[in-house]
Amino acid sequence: MSLFDWFANRRKSEPVSHERQEREIADGLWSKCSECSVLTYTKDLRANQMVCPECGHHNRVFSDERIRQLIDGHSWRSLDEHLQPIDPLKFRDRKAYGDRIRETQEKTGLKDAVATGVGTLDNLPVALGVMDFRFMGGSMGSVVGEKLTRLIERGTRDRIPVIIVCASGGARMQEGMLSLMQMAKISGALERHQEAGLLYIPVLSHPTTGGVTASFAMLGDIIIAEPQATIAFAGRRVVEQTLREKLPDDFQTAEYLLTHGFVDLIVPRTQLKSTLAQLIQLHAPKSQPAHHAEPQAAGVAHVPDAFPFPTMTPD
């Protein structure tokens, strides 16, 4: 037996102390899956986009990591980073809203609950918004609404697809009606984007609820959800009390909504970038040479032919 083999065998035979194992987990070397309890090297888990390799559980990811997963390196340009919330209503619950904002900003390093910008996804230009659940549960306040509206308007102006990754508890109650108005503002910008014949894809991650679900999360040309994501307007208890009946166990999951036609696709995170790239290519506007253009009759509105579908003819 060589000296190397002797040391290798001795190291294998030495028991790993519970204290050492706990220290390694605490230091972030290992990650324990909340679903199947399997330990995975954190480095390997991140390489797999925070999806458990054993059971496929999708761990929550935040805006900076999501942008790295979807956008080609060095192509990302942030938009409207200077915008940050104020307290117009001087709202106070257990704590003043202004104090809550400052504490959350210091804790997360974020100014609000969404990051927006433009970049390329597999060399395809896109306008991307990513909601971040760390900031007050991804709640939609005035800044979130303004940043998403500006992002959509930028996509319309540049004639590029818009993708919004949703993760939110809904409208931000501390801003009252100002928060609810963001639903209409974002929806109006999306209507103009779609009238221009341009693609909009929302990606619903866990959780997507409340006023976000009731507005831009469900207004996509193609609605994508991550596996087992919770997607809802109101909570289970509220719905059951309203309907006075027991709901299925999988109610408000992405799989349940797919079965009932509320979402179009469930895409694992490891396949999301390639799927988005394929959809963008499939729905790219058709080029129309100028010499083929025909005069437009007076009073007839022009509808851009950006999404060609087969013409339906009677039998």
Quick check: 164 and 127 in contact, CB under 8 A?
A: no
Look at residue 278 and tell me if it is in a domain. yes
Number of domains in the chain: 1
pLDDT value at position 2? 57
**Assigned domain for 99 exists:** yes
Does any domain span residue 232?
yes
CATH number at residue 168: 3.90.226.10
Each residue's pLDDT tens digit, 44-64: 999 999 999 999 999 999 999
In angstroms, rounded to a whole number, what is the distance separating the alpha carbons of residues 133 and 249?
24
Per-residue CA distances from 121 to 201, 242, 285, 309 (Å): 13, 43, 17, 24
- Domain membership of residue 289 (yes or no) is no
What's the pLDDT at 311?
Answer: 36
| Cα distance between residue 301 and residue 197, in whole Å | 13
Enumerate residue ranges in the chain where pLDDT < 50.
3, 6-7, 14, 16, 21, 23-24, 288-315
Question: Does the residue 119 lie in any domain?
Answer: yes
Mind listing the pLDDT tens digit for each residue in 261-292? 999 999 999 999 999 999 999 998 765 444 44
Residue 101 lies in a domain: yes
Residue at 36 is within a domain: no
Question: pLDDT per residue over 122-138, tens digit each?
Answer: 999 999 999 999 999 99
pLDDT at residue 186, rounded to an integer:
98
Q: Is residue 165 one of the residues assigned to a domain?
A: yes
* pLDDT value, residue 301: 39
pLDDT the model gives residue 284: 83
- Alpha-carbon distance of 19 to 15, in angstroms, equals 11
What distances in angstroms separate CA 257 from CA 102, 142, 237, 273, one per listed residue?
A: 37, 29, 18, 22
For residue 294, what pLDDT is reported? 44
At 159, phi and psi to the nearest 5?
55, 55
Predicted TM-score (pTM) of this structure: 0.81
Q: What are phi and psi of 230, to 5 degrees?
A: -85, 120
The boundaries of the domain holding residue 143 are 61-283
